[in-house]
Amino acid sequence: MDLGLKGKVALVTACSGGMGRNIALALAAEGAHVALFARSRDKLEALAADIERLHGVHALPCPGDMREAADADRLAATLEREFGGLDVAVLNTGRAPVPLRATVDETDGERWDAAYRTQLWGAIQIAQRVHPLMGAAGPGRIIAVTSASVQQPMPHHALSTVFRAGVTAYLKHLANELGARGITVNCVAPALIETPHRTGVAAYTAEQAQARKKMNVLQRMGSQEEVCAAVVFLASRQAGFITGSTLRLDGGMVGTLF
């Protein structure tokens, strides 16, 4: 199936590793040119080289911190200068501070501030600057990676859940205001996804992984590939009548009807 992404320009934030990196590769595999935004120049340059070698599209490293206004401004200027606009923006963010704690134990204001700036304010700053670049030459797509914990809070995830809920609310407002310009705005909300640790080893012990598998009706962990496929679908031509929505990838963990 032709997803209509060949030759489009896509931005992926927080993409120097993990899920963001995989999303950038998945969009490039569909023929999209990709702008890569994260703090690590070396990792971005290596990823850009991999993308161009594997998929023959243009990959542009854009080092910067989405929490910093000057870096967000520079990113928008670079996108306009290098590509003349933007078709797809994937707002991926970093993790909340570790270690994870029970909500009643989250009393450190610095941790709350760090989570706010990383997971909510950074996404807002990028969205504010990139949506004006969309819609002139065709439909635009804004997709945020949030968490299914927004709809069913998971233990010890308060720092993440609170601000990703904020991202969900912000994107719902954007969807209402940008639809007339042909821009769709949606969230992908994963949970219980197999995520390699930065060292390359599994993020969970065997016992932890088994416990997490029991939290959903499919009795397994989700894959990075499945999350990437959801993002690519929402970026596609075929998803053009979906906006203001959240697509959960949680193996049935969330038990609500809606």
Domain containing residue 219: CATH number: 3.40.50.720
The answer to whether residue 2 sits within a structural domain is no
* Structure-token pair, residue 73: 């401004």
Q: What is the pLDDT of residues 97-114, one digit of tens each?
A: 988 899 999 999 999 999
pLDDT tens readout for residues 29-67: 999 999 999 999 999 999 999 999 999 999 999 999 999
More confident residue, 112 or 199: 112
Specify if 140 maps to a domain.
Answer: yes
Beta 9-13 vs 183-190: how paired, if at all? unpaired
| 220 falls within a domain | yes
Contact between 142 and 126 under an 8 Å Cβ cutoff? The reply is: no
Domain that holds residue 172: 9-249
**1 within a domain of the structure (yes/no):** no
Residue 17 CA to residue 175 CA, distance in Å, equals 28
For residue 234, is it within any domain?
yes
Does residue 258 belong to any structural domain of this protein?
A: no
Residue 231: inside a domain, yes or no?
Answer: yes
- Model pTM score: 0.94
**Does residue 256 lie in a domain region?**
no
